[in-house]
């Protein structure tokens, strides 16, 4: 993590914000973990956080390839068959998705202050619809949403593709990446934001190895801890929630 004593005088004030979705705005990473634990148990193997760290944030097929190869089950289960099997369980779980603490307050605040905000998620369209079906009002505050199966997203995170596509879709002149703040929970997402030349606040699951924190500009244990003023964004009003 960068030295927190760095002051605003050497940092461009943030004008635009990009949010990751799974594990950052929505508490959906637990569904992937549960399903992957179940599948691996069949092969007498356990799913751990070092494997989770390599999969999270990625496009479905990219994560699936990591899963079958890293666990050594690729001769018995192809990445494509893993996705079919996983899908059957996930589609029942996703509609129950809940917001992460502080997500609603932060999105509402930035929107009310006129800060352009958007989502950049590795999730594809069908999963996005299932996960957000109870949260339409909140997601409607986003200027735009870039999904993992968007034609402009050639490669998933840690490629910068998705964040560069998200930046291009804001109104007006091209936005300097140094003025964009990305919120991420996944190591691949943090790297993608840095590869795009952007600032990144990481809100990692506490079970993730701390070595993954080092690339982020700031690490928080919850969105509730975020101080907009530190980044040159409008501060929360007293009592705002
Ligand atoms: O974290 P996101 O929103 O990029 O989503 C990526 C996958 O769908 C889940 O890890
Ligand atoms: Mg995520």
> Which domain CATH number covers 177?
3.40.50.1000
Ligand 1 pocket mutation, candidates 34, 146, 189, criterion most atoms within 8 A of CB: 189
Within a domain: residue 116?
A: yes
Q: What's the pLDDT score for residue 10?
A: 60
The per-residue b/e assignment along 107-117, b for 16 or more CB within 10 angstroms, e otherwise, is bebbbeeebbb
Write the DSSP assignment of 25-90 as a string of letters. Answer: TB--HHHHHHHHHHHHHTTT----HHHHHHHTTS-HHHHHHHHHHHTT-TTTS-HHHHHHHHHHHH
- For 69, the domain range is 29-95
| pLDDT class of 239 with cuts at 50, 70, 90 | confident
| End position of a domain, from candidates 95, 121, 148 | 95
Ligand 1 pocket mutation, candidates 121, 130, 147, 189, criterion most atoms within 8 A of CB: 121
Residue 181 host element (H or E) = strand 180-184
Residues 54, 108, single domain; the answer is no
Say whether pLDDT at 2 is over 80. no
Residues 118, 160, single domain; the answer is yes
* Ligand 1 centroid – CA 10 distance (Å): 32
* Ligand 2 centroid – CA 26 distance (Å): 9
* Ligand 2 centroid – CA 121 distance (Å): 7
Closest ligand 1 atom number to CA of residue 157: 4
Residues 77, 21, single domain; the answer is no
Protein residues with CB under 6 Å of any ligand 1 atom: 20-23, 32, 56-57, 121-123, 186, 189
pLDDT average, residue stretch 117-137: 98
The pair of structure tokens assigned to 166 is 């998200």
- Residues noted as catalytic: 20, 22
- Closest by CA to 34, choosing from 20, 22, 21, 52, is 52
Within a domain: residue 1?
A: no
Ligand 1, atom 8: nearest CA belongs to which residue?
Answer: 123
* Ligand 2 centroid – CA 233 distance (Å): 23
| End position of a domain, from candidates 37, 62, 95 | 95
Closest ligand 1 atom number to CA of residue 162: 4
Query: Considering its fold, how many domains does the chain have in total?
Result: 2
Ligand 1, atom 6: nearest CA belongs to which residue?
Answer: 57
pLDDT average, residue stretch 98-116: 98
* Ligand 2 centroid – CA 177 distance (Å): 20
Distances (CA, A) of 40 to 36, 37, 57, 70, 157: 6, 5, 20, 12, 24
| End position of a domain, from candidates 95, 110, 134 | 95
Residues 51, 20, single domain; the answer is no
Residues 133, 20, single domain; the answer is yes
| pTM (two decimals) | 0.94
CA 38 centroid distance within chain: 24
**How many of the other CB atoms lie within 10 Å of CB of 205?**
16
Say whether pLDDT at 40 is over 90. yes
Within a domain: residue 241?
A: no
ipTM of the complex: 0.95
Which ligand has the shortest distance to the CA of 32? 1
Which ligand has the shortest distance to the CA of 126? 1
pLDDT average, residue stretch 190-219: 98
Within a domain: residue 6?
A: no
């Amino acid at each position: 993590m960068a030295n927190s004593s760095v002051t605003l005088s050497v940092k461009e004030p943030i004008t635009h914000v990009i949010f990751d979705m799974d594990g950052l705005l929505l508490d959906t990473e637990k569904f992937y973990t549960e399903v992957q634990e179940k599948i691996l148990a069949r092969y007498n193997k356990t799913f751990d956080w070092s494997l989770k760290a390599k999969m999270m944030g990625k496009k479905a097929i990219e994560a699936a390839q990591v899963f079958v190869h890293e666990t050594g089950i690729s001769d018995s289960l192809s990445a494509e068959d893993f996705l079919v099997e996983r899908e059957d369980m996930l589609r029942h779980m996703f509609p129950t998705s809940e917001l992460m603490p502080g997500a609603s307050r932060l999105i509402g605040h930035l929107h009310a202050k006129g800060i352009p905000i958007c989502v950049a998620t590795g999730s594809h369209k069908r999963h996005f619809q299932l996960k957000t079906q109870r949260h339409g009002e909140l997601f409607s505050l986003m200027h735009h949403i870039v999904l993992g199966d968007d034609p402009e997203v050639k490669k998933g995170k840690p490629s910068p593709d998705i964040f560069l596509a998200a930046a291009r879709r804001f109104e007006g002149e091209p936005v300097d990446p140094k003025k964009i703040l990305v919120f991420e929970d996944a190591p691949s997402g943090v790297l993608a934001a840095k590869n795009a030349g952007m600032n990144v606040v990481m809100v990692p699951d506490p079970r993730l190895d701390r070595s993954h924190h080092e690339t982020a500009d700031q690490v928080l244990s919850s969105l509730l801890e975020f101080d907009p003023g530190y980044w040159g964004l409008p501060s929360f009003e007293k009592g705002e929630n």
